[in-house]
């Protein structure tokens, strides 16, 4: 038995039984629901609570800047990004579920819902640009977007947990 075999026997490298994967999953969805369109959620809450115009103006400026950046990237290289994301996700799906590669399954279950969040963010940015809401209306739009992101995250975590438990039970504790 080589040193490499000993290391692989000592450290479980399977994704769904690895604590680091679950930590990464939780951090990913926590970050996705906190940074709504690139704007931190606490900034929206401060703008809602604050009586002064400064916090609301800062919030509106951040939303305007990040919405403009998101739409600019989509207009300039949206086709390329769509093609690349489709290629990567389909490759991960084939490797993961067709060839039973657990690491590819984990990456697919992490990346596919995030693609939905990206599409939802683009749609929300387009609506914000078209409607140009201000003040409470803008906070309400961002709040609805955040709620949708959280719903996608909850479903994603549930599906990933169910699939991970199935994989762990099917493989067994001893591999």
106-149 pLDDT tens trace: 999 999 999 999 999 999 999 999 999 998 999 999 999 999 99
Instruction: Look at 91 and 21; give whichever has higher pLDDT.
Output: 91
The residue-averaged pLDDT of 59-87 equals: 96
User: Sign of dihedral through CA atoms 95, 6, 23, 81?
Assistant: negative
- pLDDT (0 to 100) of residue 18: 82
Q: Which two tokens stand for residue 142?
A: 């961002």
Q: Residue 13: pLDDT above 90?
A: no
Contacts of range 131-135, beta carbons closer than 8 Å, 24 or more positions apart: 134/60, 135/56, 135/60
- pLDDT (0 to 100) of residue 34: 94
- pLDDT (0 to 100) of residue 4: 74
Judge contact between 37 and 121, C-beta under 8 A: yes
User: Sign of dihedral through CA atoms 131, 124, 144, 140?
Assistant: negative
pTM score, two decimals? 0.86
- pLDDT (0 to 100) of residue 1: 65
Question: pLDDT by residue (tens digit) across 20-52?
Answer: 889 999 999 999 999 999 999 999 999 988 767
**Residue 42 CB-density burial (10 A; 0-12 exposed, 13-18 middle, 19+ buried):** exposed
- pLDDT (0 to 100) of residue 9: 62
Q: Report the chain's mean pLDDT, rounded to a whole number.
A: 91
Which of 138, 81, 142, 73 shows the shortest CA–CA distance to 115? 81
- pLDDT (0 to 100) of residue 3: 78
Phi, psi for residue 79 in degrees, rounded to 5: -65, -45
Q: Residue 92: pLDDT above 70?
A: yes
Q: Residue 67: pLDDT above 80?
A: yes
CA distances from 121 to 75, 132, 164 (A): 14, 16, 28
Can you tell me which residue has the tokens 């400064």? 54
Instruction: Look at 75 and 171; give whichever has higher pLDDT.
Output: 75
CA distances from 32 to 20, 124, 141 (A): 18, 15, 16
71 sits in which H/E element: helix 53-93
The residue-averaged pLDDT of 153-167 equals: 95
**Residue 174 CB-density burial (10 A; 0-12 exposed, 13-18 middle, 19+ buried):** exposed
């Amino acid at each position: 038995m080589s040193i490499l075999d000993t290391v692989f026997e000592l450290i479980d490298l399977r994704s769904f039984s690895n604590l680091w994967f679950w930590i990464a999953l939780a951090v990913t969805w926590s970050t996705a629901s906190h940074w709504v369109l690139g704007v931190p959620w606490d900034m929206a809450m401060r703008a809602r609570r604050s009586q002064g115009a400064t916090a609301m103006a800062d919030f509106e400026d951040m939303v305007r800047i990040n919405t403009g950046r998101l739409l600019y990237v989509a207009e300039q290289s949206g086709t390329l990004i769509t093609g690349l994301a489709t290629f990567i996700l389909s490759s991960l799906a084939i490797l993961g579920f067709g060839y039973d590669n657990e690491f590819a399954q984990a990456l697919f279950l992490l990346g596919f819902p995030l693609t939905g969040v990206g599409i939802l963010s683009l749609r929300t940015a387009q609506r914000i640009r078209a409607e140009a809401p201000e003040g409470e209306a803008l906070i309400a739009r961002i709040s609805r977007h955040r709620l949708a992101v959280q719903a996608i995250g909850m479903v994603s975590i549930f599906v990933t947990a169910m699939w991970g438990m199935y994989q762990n039970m099917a493989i067994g504790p001893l591999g």
